[in-house]
Amino acid sequence: SRGAEGAAAPPVFTWLSDGTKDSESFTAAARDQFQEELVIRPLHSGDIYASFQFRTLWDTDFLQERQKVSHYRLFPKSLGQVLSKFSVRELHISFTQGFWRTMQWGQPFIPSPPGAELWVWFHDTVSDVDGNWKELTNVLSGIFCASLNFIDLTNTVQPSASFKPLGLGNATDHRFLRYATLPREIVCTENLTPWKKLLPCGSKAGLSVLLKSEKLFHSSFHSQAVHIRPVCQDEQCTSKAWELRQTLNVVFDLYTSGQGKKEWSLFKMFSRTLTEACPLATSSKVYVDITDNPEVKLKQQTVVLGDRRTYSVFDLTRAEMFGQLRSLNLLLRDMLRPLLHAERYVAGFGLQTGEIHTVIYNNHPYRAFPVLLMDSVPWYLQLYIHTLTVTSKSRDNKPSYIHYQPAKDRHRPHLLEMLIQLPPHSMTEVTVQFERALLKWTEYTPDPNHGFYVGSSVVSALVPSMVAMNTNFTQDQPLFSSFVPVKEESSYFVRVYTEPLLVNLPTPDFSMPYNVICLTCTVVAVGYGSFYNLLTRTFQVDEPSLPLAKRLANLIRRIRGVPLLA
Amino acid sequence: MYLQVLAACYKALSDHHQRGRYAALAIAAVVIVVGIPLWWKTTETYRAWLPFSEISELDSLQLQLSVDIEVVFSRGTLTPEQQKKFPLSHVNEKEHQVDGLRYKYETRYRTATIMEEDALNQPTAAEADLSLHMLSEKDVKVYVGQRRTALLRSPPFKSSWSLKEVLSNLDVEVEQVVSTMSFSHQDIVAALSDRVRMAKVTKESMADSMRAIKSSPGYEITFSLLNPDPRSHSLHWDIEGAVQSCIQPLLNKLAPIANFSVDSQILYYAVLGVNPRFDNSVSAYTLSADSLSHVINPVEARLGSNAASSNPVLNFLLYVPDSHHSPLFIRDHSKREVPSNAFHSPRWGGIMVYNVNEMYGPEAERPVDININMAKVMGVFLAQLRLMLGVQHTHPPTGFVLQSPGSAGLADWELDRLLWSRSVENIATASTTITSLAQLLDQIGNIVINDNIAQQVSSAVTSLQSAVAELEAGNLAFALQYSREAILASERAFFDPSLLHLLYFPDDQKFAIYIPLFLPMCVPIVLSLLKIVSEAKKRRADKQAKSD
């Protein structure tokens, strides 16, 4: 019926309803398909949020025992080989530059912590998970030109509750899960290029034309990610498919760079315009959030993360689209405050002890909801777990579930997971004290006075929805709203990352070992020298020499020829 | 009285002297006996024992290759008197002193058994029939089959000849057959080229060996379809079926040599590095031979390396030119079009241009669905793959007919040739690796040699020795197996990261640390020892003066 509607509508408006109909017959034969999507949302702060999603679906099974998958079409070969070699069931990797300001910008479509984050579910046939993990991080660091090879056992954890598989299959045994972050990782062009290379159209056609690195990295926030997981091919879930989602989120600060004018265009943001859809894509759409700009009448409604928002849709597979996307002026209105929000900081003074404060806000006016807080702290901050306090509204709030795995020096980090009930409209504070360890002098980074990073803590929650889910829309969901499976209609899944911490550790003077060696050697040598003299020299009483007056007298006497004085 | 006091004084003084001398000597002795060994022991790097003598033997390795030859005379070729002396065997050894190579040909002569005669005469046995049929043609002297047999037709022997004369008459031809079907000296020298640098190698076999990819325990074969214009061409290739029917039989045959894995990908918007020139005379675009070297680089960035293994990759690219640049033809140095429209790059892979412009009219709806004729493509790629793998072009002497290898893509004797040259190459590579590692470890005393490295080295050495022994005995499969093990073990030892740990511990830093302690401690000891020595010398001189 949707197709009939689309056909009946006047040509100008057809692109608004549904544009994927005609391409579906073509994809029926192919076993893989590709979709691309761009969402543009003006933010409350005057910034523009652009979120790209590229999705490749392939109904194959990389984990098949008897037959290796070796013939690739749209799915990138390098990632496919990694999946089958390391028996990966799910892989999520993100590289982020900048910090997502939840309070000002609201919820992102796919959250990510600053730096690099990697979490992988291995298949349950893997016997040596740690070995696979080590090798996998090395291979991925080659593929993405990133320092993922610095992931080792000292910064890897196995969260018990916070990271569940997002794809098919309900794996619960967290022995097959590995999670690591590198908060220090700096993301730049060399990471973007290999990421773009994974797209079937590269940066030659379609939405990826806009991904020009000098503009993308001249922004307040940049995050690129790759998510691979097995998903259902259809609604009945009769067959399994592998999904590769490449996402790129960027926040442009156009307000300050554009002389205070609240307007944007694709050209201003990316210094490119769109000319065509990727010919390999079955759907290629641009969504523009016009919730705050109701004058634009053409719209399609969808519910994303609990807010009812209105989007106008531009389907790039329609030739008549081009020329319309150039400039769109906007009026801005207040946005809803995010329901869940978290921040973190280090308190205390001196270089011996300190305290980590994590503050979680529930902004819902009348609903309480539980959140899972996960903290992974490096071993060199020795947590005093007995000082753990959780307070909400200045009253003690006892977590209903605590999973704590203490660190082992130089072997594994602390892992702390808690299930905390957040009272409505409240601020919950979690504090824990720690002592800073002294590292061995080779364990310091090249710039130790910069401080040591502690990865973001992760708050995962099912947040009660403000608006009921729009059920009309499940048939043809846009990509940005379909990443996390929604089971309950009254609540939605949210993951919030806090800021990474920068902690100063007591730093020695690195020339100290040599100074110590020199000083000790000198002391030993002086002691030895006098001892040696004492043992080997002979001492004899010396005749006292004549006093100066007598010697002078003798001199005169010698001249005069008189006998000398004794 | 005065004298007595003086004598006592002198005695006390000399006692003092004596005591001081003993103290200095004792301290020097403690330093030498306890201090130096202690310092030596605590600053020593751990160096496990390596079989240096065996390794140095490897450097001057003598390789002996053995071939068993059986010459079977069919009925009627020899007179009964000549046959009387059968069976007969004869060993022929050739030595190449310079390269350390020795070839041993063991030839046995006998008459055909009845069954063999039957097989040759049977008209239904297709092969025998075919071969006899071809042998009856005039100019065919030798027919080489798919397996390890060859049929040789020689002019009739005179019945008055003794057997010796017959055999020596036959020898030349037998030798030709053997050098075709087994190794030739040139091939072996080319395989050894890493070890022996020689001018003797002919240009051709050098080119062959340079074209062939280096011996490795495994290869990744990647087929890539380059579609620079997905807007107008929607290309379909049945790569799975084509690999199954064309490439897999060959790889199965080659399984003893290396592990092969095959994969394929389609790359969109991938373009060649050069702009083809339009040639009005043929109304087609052309790529000249000189520009081909620039074609690969931009494509290679898109190919991607194999993330999951470190084996060398052989790339085969099928390039379908976009509609604005077709048809596209490759021209060789003499400006003629290459019939296969393909070229290969040594040790890298091959590229084939596949024109599709004739498959649709100008009014066809874009994108045009095009099915690629895989038989044509795979024929070209298979030929290139054979070159890459080092199945050399054999140039048979005139009058030789080689049976085409058939569906397997490789005759048994071609596989043997490959086994020989690969084993020799592996042995050469492994022994070079091991000798240079031993040399390196010998030169730089700072390197820690862990037990596992020592173990790898000695297992490489034993595998090498067994490979050489197997080669001598003529067991090709085992020789290759051992030589592969030797390569693996030697590379693992050579590239072990633990070798690098203490490598960069410069001497000046060592001195900076030692000098503040050692200089003030050693100077008094050395000085007092010198003093003692000079005093002893003086006393002896005094004594001599007294006795004189």
Position A13 scores a pLDDT of 27
A292-337 pLDDT, tens digit each: 665 555 555 555 555 667 777 777 777 665 555 444 434 444 445 6
Q: Chain A contact for B39, CB < 8 A?
A: no
Q: Chain A contact for B30, CB < 8 A?
A: no
Nearest CA in chain B to A142: B307
In sign, the C-alpha dihedral spanning A511, A516, A517, A519 is positive
The reply to whether omega before B362 is within 30° of 0 (cis) is no
pLDDT band per the 50, 70, 90 thresholds, residue A23: very low
Position A419 scores a pLDDT of 94
Q: Please check whether residue B205 lies inside any domain of the structure.
A: no
Q: Chain A contact for B367, CB < 8 A?
A: yes
Residue B462 has pLDDT above 70, yes or no: yes
Judging contacts by C-beta atoms under 8 Å, the chain A residues touching residue B16 are 538-540
In this complex, the residue of B239, B266, B307 whose CB is nearest that of residue A78 is: B307
Judge if B232 and B370 occupy the same domain: yes
Position B398 scores a pLDDT of 64
User: Do residues B322 and B356 lie in contact, with contact meaning Cβ atoms separated by under 8 Å?
Assistant: no
The reply to whether omega before A413 is within 30° of 0 (cis) is no
Last residue of a domain, one of B371, B389, B407: B389
Low-confidence winner among A197-201, A507-511, B139-143, B262-266 (lowest mean pLDDT): B139-143
In sign, the C-alpha dihedral spanning B507, B508, B509, B510 is positive
pLDDT band per the 50, 70, 90 thresholds, residue B148: low
Q: Please give the share of chain A, as a percent, with pLDDT higher than 90.
A: 34
Query: Region A236-261: what's the mean pLDDT?
Result: 81
In sign, the C-alpha dihedral spanning B9, B13, B16, B18 is negative
Low-confidence winner among B132-146, B225-239, B256-270, B287-301 (lowest mean pLDDT): B132-146
Position B505 scores a pLDDT of 67
Judging contacts by C-beta atoms under 8 Å, the chain B residues touching residue A536 are 20-21, 23-24, 27, 524, 528
pLDDT band per the 50, 70, 90 thresholds, residue B113: low
Judge if B484 and B536 occupy the same domain: no
**SS3 string of B486-500?**
HHHHHHHHHCCHHHH
Residue A237 — left, alpha, or beta (φ > 0 → left; ψ -120 to 50 → alpha)? left
Low-confidence winner among A80-89, A132-141, A406-415, B47-56 (lowest mean pLDDT): B47-56
Position A356 scores a pLDDT of 94
Position B163 scores a pLDDT of 66
The reply to whether omega before A485 is within 30° of 0 (cis) is no
pLDDT band per the 50, 70, 90 thresholds, residue B425: confident
- Going by the DSSP 8-state scheme, the letter that residue A411 receives in this structure is T
pLDDT band per the 50, 70, 90 thresholds, residue A6: very low
First to last CA, chain B: 31
In this complex, the residue of A72, A73, A538 whose CB is nearest that of residue B20 is: A538
Position A227 scores a pLDDT of 94
Query: Region B262-272: what's the mean pLDDT?
Result: 88
In this complex, the residue of A81, A85, A205 whose CB is nearest that of residue B269 is: A205
Position A486 scores a pLDDT of 58
The answer to whether domain A340-471+484-503 has CATH 2.60.40.740 is: yes
Gyration radius from chain B CA atoms: 37
Nearest CA in chain A to B519: A525
pLDDT band per the 50, 70, 90 thresholds, residue B191: low
Q: Chain A contact for B172, CB < 8 A?
A: no
Listed residue (A247, A249, A250) closest to A229, CA to CA: A247
Is B20 close to A525, i.e. CB distance below 8 A?
no
Q: Please give the share of chain A, as a percent, with pLDDT higher than 70.
A: 81
Position A28 scores a pLDDT of 39
In this complex, the residue of A81, A521, A533 whose CB is nearest that of residue B307 is: A81
Cα A150 from chain centroid?
15
In whole angstroms, give the CA distance from residue B497 to residue B487: 17
ipTM over 0.85: no
Residue A339 has pLDDT above 60, yes or no: yes
pLDDT band per the 50, 70, 90 thresholds, residue A248: very high
In sign, the C-alpha dihedral spanning B317, B320, B322, B324 is positive
Query: Region A493-510: what's the mean pLDDT?
Result: 89
Judge if B452 and B522 occupy the same domain: no
Q: Chain A contact for B269, CB < 8 A?
A: yes
Q: Which domain holds residue B226?
A: 218-389
Ranges of each domain in chain A: 33-329, 340-471+484-503
In whole angstroms, give the CA distance from residue B24 to residue B526: 9
Residue A422 has pLDDT above 60, yes or no: yes
In this complex, the residue of A73, A528, A536 whose CB is nearest that of residue B528 is: A536
Is A280 close to B268, i.e. CB distance below 8 A?
yes
Judge if B129 and B247 occupy the same domain: no
Judge if B317 and B382 occupy the same domain: yes
Q: Please give the share of chain B, as a percent, with pLDDT higher than 90.
A: 4
Distance from CA of A445 to the nearest CA of B (A): 18
Position A246 scores a pLDDT of 94
Judging contacts by C-beta atoms under 8 Å, the chain A residues touching residue B24 are 535-536
Q: Torsion over CA of A19, A20, A25 and A29, rounded to 10 degrees? A: 150
Judging contacts by C-beta atoms under 8 Å, the chain B residues touching residue A205 are 231, 269
DSSP conformation letters of B224-288: EEEES-TTTEEEE--HHHHIIIIIHHHHHHTTTT-EEEEEEEEEES---SSPPEEETTTTEEEE-
Position A448 scores a pLDDT of 87
Judging contacts by C-beta atoms under 8 Å, the chain B residues touching residue A540 are 13, 16
Low-confidence winner among A435-444, B380-389, B400-409, B430-439 (lowest mean pLDDT): B400-409
Q: Please give the share of chain B, as a percent, with pLDDT higher than 70.
A: 71
Position A453 scores a pLDDT of 92
Output the average pLDDT for chain B.
77
In this complex, the residue of B24, B306, B516 whose CB is nearest that of residue A517 is: B516
Per-residue tokens: B252 = 């199965």
Q: How many domains does chain B have?
A: 4
Q: Chain A contact for B439, CB < 8 A?
A: no
Position B323 scores a pLDDT of 84
Position B392 scores a pLDDT of 60
In this complex, the residue of A85, A280, A539 whose CB is nearest that of residue B308 is: A85
Q: If residue B206 lies in a helix (H) or strand (E), which one and from where to where?
A: helix B203-211
Listed residue (A34, A316, A52, A325) closest to A208, CA to CA: A52
Position A468 scores a pLDDT of 41
Q: Please check whether residue B465 lies inside any domain of the structure.
A: yes
pTM of the model: 0.79
pLDDT band per the 50, 70, 90 thresholds, residue A8: very low
Query: Region B196-221: what's the mean pLDDT?
Result: 66
Judge if B40 and B140 occupy the same domain: no
Residue A279 has pLDDT above 70, yes or no: yes
Low-confidence winner among A5-14, B13-22, B234-243, B351-360 (lowest mean pLDDT): A5-14
Is B306 close to A78, i.e. CB distance below 8 A?
yes
In whole angstroms, give the CA distance from residue A398 to residue A402: 10
Q: How many CB pairs under 8 A join A and B?
A: 107
Position A15 scores a pLDDT of 31
Position B37 scores a pLDDT of 92
Position A509 scores a pLDDT of 84
Q: Please check whether residue B371 lies inside any domain of the structure.
A: yes
Which has the higher per-residue pLDDT, A372 or B501?
A372
Distance from CA of A519 to the nearest CA of B (A): 8
Judge if B128 and B179 occupy the same domain: yes
Distance from CA of A85 to the nearest CA of B (A): 6
DSSP conformation letters of A254-321: HHHHTTT--EEEHHHHHS-------TTEEEEEEEEE-TT-TT----EEEEETTEEEEEEEEETTSGGG
pLDDT band per the 50, 70, 90 thresholds, residue B199: very low
Q: Chain A contact for B236, CB < 8 A?
A: no
Residue B52 has pLDDT above 90, yes or no: no
**Distant-in-sequence, close-in-space partners of B82: CB < 8 Å, separation ≥ 6:** B157, B159, B161, B162, B163, B166
Residue A22 has pLDDT above 50, yes or no: no
Distance from CA of A545 to the nearest CA of B (A): 20
Query: Region A423-437: what's the mean pLDDT?
Result: 93
Nearest CA in chain B to A30: B236
Highest mean pLDDT (candidates A6-20, A312-326, A458-472, B13-27)? B13-27
Low-confidence winner among A197-201, B42-46, B339-343 (lowest mean pLDDT): B42-46
Residue with tokens 């019939």: B339
Which has the higher per-residue pLDDT, B277 or A469?
B277
Judging contacts by C-beta atoms under 8 Å, the chain A residues touching residue B525 are 532
Query: Region A483-509: what's the mean pLDDT?
Result: 80
Query: Region A259-276: what's the mean pLDDT?
Result: 77
Q: Please check whether residue B164 lies inside any domain of the structure.
A: yes
User: Do residues A246 and A197 lie in contact, with contact meaning Cβ atoms separated by under 8 Å?
Assistant: no
pLDDT band per the 50, 70, 90 thresholds, residue A494: confident
In whole angstroms, give the CA distance from residue B322 to residue B366: 12
Q: Please check whether residue B260 lies inside any domain of the structure.
A: yes
Rounded to 5, what percent of chain B is helix, strand, coil?
Answer: 50, 20, 30
Which has the higher per-residue pLDDT, A368 or A539?
A368
User: Do residues A462 and A493 lie in contact, with contact meaning Cβ atoms separated by under 8 Å?
Assistant: yes
Query: Region A74-86: what's the mean pLDDT?
Result: 89
Residue B315 has pLDDT above 50, yes or no: yes
Distance from CA of B195 to the nearest CA of A (A): 33
Judge if B422 and B479 occupy the same domain: yes
pLDDT band per the 50, 70, 90 thresholds, residue A233: confident
Q: Torsion over CA of A383, A385, A386 and A390, rounded to 10 degrees? A: 110
Judge if B520 and B489 occupy the same domain: no
Cα A210 from chain centroid?
23
